[in-house]
Amino acid sequence: MTLNPRLVKESFSHVEPVADKAAAYFYGRLFAGNPHLRGLFPPSMDLQRDRLFRALTRVVWSLDSPESMAAYLGQLGRDHRKYGVVAEHYAAIGDALVATVRCFAAEVWTEEVEAAWTAAYAAASKMMTEAADDDAGVSPAWWLAEVVGHEERGPAIAVVTLRPSQPLPYTAGQYVNVQTARWPRVWRAYSVANAPRTDNTLRLHVRGIPGGWVSTALLRHTRVGDTVMLGPPMGTMTAPQDGERDLLCVAGGTGLAPIKAIIEQVIASPRRPNIHLLYGARTGAELYDLPDLLRMQSEFPWLRVLPVVSDEPGWEGMRGSLPEATQRFHSWADHDVFVCGPDPMVAETVHRLQAGGVPPERIHRDTAVSGY
């Protein structure tokens, strides 16, 4: 079976505009044929449907670049160990997936298209299961972690410090999926907000989202001494390993978390780049980590922390939207850029920076994290 990315992409383009319906059909079909698989998923499937499509879209569009597809699917396979997914489940999922694309791309469906999907799914599931099997020899499927710190910071924001019961190796900028005892099988991604420490502790920046299961559990119902579960580290927006370039960091709200970890990592290295951090919030009260950032600035004179407030007319410091604030300075064209925050803010910032001459390969972002 040979891969035919063109046929897969063409047929998938018929499914993308009706992603919600297709995801509902997919899970309906999967659970009707395999009721025992329902227990692997959370009680509410709303967010799960989005996740499926994000992952699928990413895989389909990276079929032409085997390296990035392998890296992504490897992470996904390792991460799926924590759900209890085993090799036999992949066949059932593949059947439901092909049936879904057949249904929603009916007008272009041919035997050739079906063969292309079957080959692509076989290749993708092989990469995931192989990565999971390799990982099983060296790493747990998930980690237990004790809550050793819980600070409420401003309106509906908490900084939670966790100590895993065994080391959880990660790179500054990566995120982990978190499950609380209150909501079994519900996992949400949070970036680790510190560079790796010798005491193995991890900090998470949690914004309580109304109706958000895990964020509310972490913000309101979690105390020091409680235990949470963590999945393996994920994500590709990591600290630059080398290079001479100065850094621009743009962080919106709790999107600060991975950016702070990356800055900590750079500060701890022998490098001495200039680092500009534009740190945005809607109100001054939501600049929840400013005191610690100012402490870092006083200890590392190459760091400049620039708070920007968007929705508080009386704010005496820099005001306005973060994407627009990036344009109030000299050109960033020769910088490495790290951007994190709400999706529209990230998209607009990236757009403006590219228009201002920053090459796309120097702009680093991670789209898969969103705590709820």
Ligand X SMILES: NC(=O)C1=CN([C@@H]2O[C@H](COP(=O)(O)OP(=O)(O)OC[C@H]3O[C@@H](n4cnc5c(N)ncnc54)[C@H](O)[C@@H]3O)[C@@H](O)[C@H]2O)C=CC1
- Determine which residue in the list 72, 104, 142, 190 makes contact with ligand X, applying CB under 6 A: 190
Length of the chain: 372
d(CA 50, CA 280): 27
Pattern 353-372, ligand X, x by CB under 6 A: ----------------xxx-
H or E, element range at 68: helix 66-80
Q: Which residues of 168-194 are buried (b: 16+ CB within 10 A; e: fewer)?
A: bebbbbbbbbbbbebbeebbbbbbbbb
d(CA 235, CA 75): 8
Q: Does 280 bind ligand X (CB under 6 A)?
A: yes
Residue 311 class from Cβ within 10 Å (0-12 exposed, 13-18 middle, 19+ buried)?
Answer: exposed
- Stretches 31-39, 48-56, 76-84, 335-343: which one binds ligand X (CB under 6 A)? 335-343
- Could you tell me which residues are beta bridge partners of residue 275? 247, 303
**Residue nearest to ligand X according to CB distances in the complex:** 253
Site for ligand X (CB under 6 A): how many residues? 27
Tokens representing residue 141 in the block:
């499927």
- Determine which residue in the list 342, 352, 354, 356 makes contact with ligand X, applying CB under 6 A: 342
- Could you tell me which residues are beta bridge partners of residue 177? 189
Q: Does 321 bind ligand X (CB under 6 A)?
A: yes
Q: Does 348 bind ligand X (CB under 6 A)?
A: yes
- Stretches 73-81, 162-170, 195-203, 281-289: which one binds ligand X (CB under 6 A)? 281-289
27: Cβ contacts below 8 Å, ≥ 6 apart: 41, 45, 48, 49, 52, 96
Taking the CA atoms of 133, 366, 247 and 153 in sequence, report the sign of the dihedral they define.
Answer: negative
Contact between 288 and 309 (Cβ < 8 Å)? no
Q: Does 207 bind ligand X (CB under 6 A)?
A: yes
CB of 323 to ligand X, least distance (A): 5
- Determine which residue in the list 15, 249, 281, 358 makes contact with ligand X, applying CB under 6 A: 281
CB of 2 to ligand X, least distance (A): 38
Q: Does 322 bind ligand X (CB under 6 A)?
A: yes
Q: Which is nearer to ligand X, 66 or 155 (CB)?
A: 155
Q: Among candidates 339, 44, 371, 39, which has minimal Cα distance to 176?
A: 371
Q: Which is nearer to ligand X, 141 or 278 (CB)?
A: 278
CB atoms inside a 10 Å sphere around CB 144: 14
- Determine which residue in the list 255, 265, 306, 364 makes contact with ligand X, applying CB under 6 A: 255
Q: Which is nearer to ligand X, 232 or 280 (CB)?
A: 280
- Please give the residues from 50 up to 109 whose contact with ligand X meets the rule CB under 6 A: none
277: Cβ contacts below 8 Å, ≥ 6 apart: 249, 251, 259, 263, 293, 303, 304, 305, 306
Residue type, 38: R
Q: Does 261 bind ligand X (CB under 6 A)?
A: no
Q: Which is nearer to ligand X, 23 or 340 (CB)?
A: 340
- Determine which residue in the list 238, 253, 289, 326 makes contact with ligand X, applying CB under 6 A: 253
CB of 238 to ligand X, least distance (A): 13
For tokens 């509310």, the residue is 216
CB of 264 to ligand X, least distance (A): 15
- Determine which residue in the list 254, 276, 350, 353 makes contact with ligand X, applying CB under 6 A: 254
- Stretches 27-35, 147-155, 180-188, 334-342: which one binds ligand X (CB under 6 A)? 334-342
Reduced to 3 states, what is the DSSP secondary structure of residue 294? helix
Q: Which is nearer to ligand X, 207 or 271 (CB)?
A: 207
Binding site for ligand X (CB under 6 A): 190-191, 205, 207, 252-255, 257-258, 280-282, 286, 310, 321-323, 340-342, 344-345, 348, 369-371
